[in-house]
Amino acid sequence: MSTSSRVVAEFAANLQFEDIPAEVIRRCEDLLLDTLGSIYAGSTEPPVQKIAAFAAEQGPADGSAQLIPSGKKTSPYFAAMVNAAAAHMVEQDDLHNSSVFHPACVVFPPAIAIAQDIGASGKELLTACVVGYEVGIRVGEFLGRSHYKIFHTTATAGTIAAAVTVGRLLGLTTEQMQDALGSAGTQAAGLWEFLKTAADSKQLHTAKAAANGLMAASLAAKGFSGAEDIFEGEKGMGNAFSQAPRADKLVESFGERWALLETSFKYHASCRHTHPAADALWKVMQENDVKAEEVAEVKTFVHQAAIDVLGAVDKPQSVHQSKFSMGTVLGVLAYNGFAGLDEFEHALGDERIDAFRQKVSMTLDPDVDAAYPEKWVGKVKVTTTDGRKLDALVTDPKGDPGNTLSRNEIEAKIKRLVNYNNAGTEDDAEKIIAWTWNLEHGSSELPL
């Protein structure tokens, strides 16, 4: 039967390394390196360490897959779970704009775990990751904006992304891949409700998307069947999770459009919904030589999802929550000129930043909202203490495909991430940089 899940499964089961443009492979390496840095940085944080402790209790003490950064081994299921929990922790991993989906954190951890388990080559690993991006992004677009209002797309579409990534490495047939889609989709979960009190669920979401997707593909390899039409079926993901599922997006231009190339790097260490306004504020400050203490008021004009995700936070109570506070993020940037992990560590309790936060408002802007999620537009109006009215518009925030990071910039970012909380050393960063740039010709065993 030619359901949309069949079309997705056919692509996922059959994509070959040789079919993928070199540009896509290079960007995939960029994204992988970016993610390894995020895993290092996230690994030291309490929510990740609690998931790691659970994995240590329930999983085997040895195995075929590596935990990052320790290099300790366990089974692929738990390696995928723990590394994926870490990957999204510090809000520095990538984002695909139009699907509002963070593919890296749910694609690379299960890919690496299973690649190590089966001794896959670097080429096989990269091919599988491209499959994960291409499918996961389309599922995010299929579920659409109404989904994202309640569901964490990275968790739901992420389960599918993880399943096809692992399925490709395991060499699933098209039929088995369709089973994997069914078993992944029926496990897909993740609600935004935790944001209100800044609970730890985000790490649980990525951990479980990676692990559940891996399980779905592994079961499919054993002949465990899944729903045939998990996307468009009457009781499938579209009807369950979306008010306006877009089936056309799900199967759009496989092999022609490379959605992986549309993915953005995160430049600021905060929720991606703050980035456009942050860049617009910075533009105002740079172009008009405004200092942080000269800002009297910042009106940000944003898309609805920014209000949905960021609106829950009034006065942030934790470092993590501060990355979801528009006013705090803008204050961190304004006072430091850079909103990186270390800058956020010192923001909470900084009275200047707290005061700055209270000068910032968010207003729904119809034009910005209409452009979203294809474009994440930054629009601000700033009033200075001396009464100047300044504004700026940014259509390609730093890190977006139209304004992407160079390999030098990525390496610099990775070094900061690896070194965050002393998770790793400069030497560790150099090793994983070298490993990644050589991956096409190397193996999936990490130099940990």
14-53 binders of its own copies (CB under 8 A): 46-47, 50-51, 53
Any bridge partners for residue 76, and if so which?
Answer: none
Buried b (16+ CB within 10 A) or exposed e, 50-84: ebbeebeeebeeebbbbbbbeebbbbbbbbbbbbb
Q: Strand pairing of 295-302 and 263-264?
A: unpaired
Q: Is 210 exposed, middle or buried (0-12, 13-18, 19+ CB in 10 A)?
A: buried
Least gap, CB of 311 to its own copies (angstroms): 10
**Residues that contact its own copies, how many (by CB under 8 A):** 60
Q: Does 2 bind its own copies (CB under 8 A)?
A: no
How many CA atoms within 13 Å lie on the side-chain side of 134?
A: 29
- 11, 40, 78, 335: which one binds its own copies (CB under 8 A): 78
Is residue 222 part of the contact set for its own copies (CB under 8 A)?
A: yes
- H helix and E strand count, the chain: 20, 8
Q: Quote the tokens at residue 185.
A: 């989709």
Q: Is 116 in the site for its own copies (CB under 8 A)?
A: no
Cβ 241 to its own copies shortest distance, Å:
8
- Among 87, 90, 204, 353, interactor with its own copies by CB under 8 A: 204
Which residue in the block uniquely carries the two structure tokens 């897959």? 65
234 or 386, CB closer to its own copies? 234
DSSP state letters, 240-304: HH-SS--HHHHTTTTTTS-GGGGEEPP-SSS-GGGHHHHHHHHHHHHHHT--GGGEEEEEEEE-H
Binding mask 82-101 for its own copies (x = CB under 8 A): --------------------
Would you count residue 144 as binding its own copies (CB under 8 A)? Answer: no
Out of 16, 61, 408, 441, name the contact with its own copies by CB under 8 A.
61
**DSSP state, residue 196:** G
Site residues for its own copies, 238-257, by CB under 8 A, read: 239-240
Q: State the Cα–Cα distance between residues 373 and 251, nearest whole angstrom.
A: 19
Return the residue of 16, 18, 22, 223 that touches its own copies, per CB under 8 A: 223
Strands 295-302 and 360-364: parallel
Q: Which of 302, 304, 284 is nearest to 294 (CA)?
A: 284
Choosing from 69, 76, 136, 399, the residue that interacts with its own copies (CB under 8 A) is: 76
Identify the residue among 160, 230, 334, 405 touching its own copies (CB under 8 A): 230
Q: At what angle do helices 122-150 and 153-169 cross, to 10 degrees?
A: 160
Of 20-28, 101-109, 235-243, 274-282, which part binds its own copies (CB under 8 A)?
235-243
Nearer to its own copies, 98 or 183 (CB): 183
* Local structure of 143: helix, strand or coil: helix
Instruction: Write out the binding residues for its own copies, residues 365-394 only, by CB under 8 A.
Output: none
- Please report how close the Cβ of residue 62 comes to its own copies at its closest, in angstroms: 9
Q: Give one word for 181, left, alpha or beta, with left for phi > 0 and alpha for psi -120 to 50.
A: alpha
Q: Hey, which residues between 319 and 348 contact its own copies (CB under 8 A)?
A: none
- State the binding string over 161-200 for its own copies (x if CB under 8 A, else -): ------------------x--xx-xxxxxxxxxxxxx-xx
> Which positions lie near its own copies, rule CB under 8 A?
46-47, 50-51, 53-54, 57-61, 75-78, 149-151, 179, 182-183, 185-197, 199-201, 204-205, 208, 212, 215, 218-219, 222-230, 233-237, 239-240
